[in-house]
Structure 1
Amino acid sequence: MGIFGGVIIGIIAGYVAGKIMRGGGFGCLVNLILGVIGGVLGSWLFGMLGIYTSGTIGHLVTATVGAIALLWVSSLFSSKRH
């Protein structure tokens, strides 16, 4: 998959992760950016666990898991505490 395909998958993953995380999202644009970064993170996480995916659906699942992990971690640091 090329760079363009990876970005498109990351954008879709960011959108899906934002919907899954309910309240963990940061708005449409930031979720999309986190989805692209999450694709890289998901590939790294899956590689560390020895899980390898192929095909568009596999890349989408990997990127979505990475985006969810990234949204979860970033929500820990930006919690609104009074």
Structure 2
Amino acid sequence: MNIKIGIGLLITLLLALFLLPGMVFKVVGLIVSLLVWGVSGYLAGKLLQGQGYGLLGNIALGLVGGVVGSILVAIFGITGLVKLPFIGGILVGALGSVVVVVVAGLLYGNGETE
């Protein structure tokens, strides 16, 4: 019985050593991407016309913009941009955030209250 437990623990440890780093890096990469996209949306809202859509609105637009930027990069085949680990994420997020903030401004106004 003790040998089976030892073998089970050894197999679990080996699986964790091989699988966990890949999963951890993917989760960390996702968290970093979300943070970068949120900041990109905030900055895009401040840089474009008006006062933007408020802190949470700009961050939400940045998150959507990051997804939109990723889709645009895939559609236009700009694969070199994605290969840049951190800078690529910032550029993709900024591109998508600007597109989303501009479209939101055209559809709903520029966020200013009269």
- The TM-score bracket by the shorter chain reads 0.7 to 0.9
Matches within 5 A, 1:1-82: 2-23=29-50, 25-52=52-79, 53=81, 54-79=84-109
Q: Deviations over 1:7-56 (max 9, x none)?
A: 11111111221122132721111001111111010011111111122211
Counterpart CA distance in 1 for 2:51 and 2:106 is 9
| Aligned partner letter, 1:34 | L
| Aligned partner letter, 2:63 | V
RMSD over aligned Cα, in angstroms?
1.7
The answer on whether the counterparts of 1:15 and 1:32 sit within 8 Å (CA) in structure 2 is: yes
The answer on whether the counterparts of 1:17 and 1:67 sit within 8 Å (CA) in structure 2 is: yes
> Could you say which structure has the larger radius of gyration?
2
Report % sequence identity. 32
**Secondary structure of the residue that 2:86 maps to in structure 1?**
helix
Aligned length: 80
Counterpart CA distance in 1 for 2:43 and 2:87 is 13
- 5+ residue gaps, structure 1, are none
Deviating 4+ runs (over 4 angstroms): none
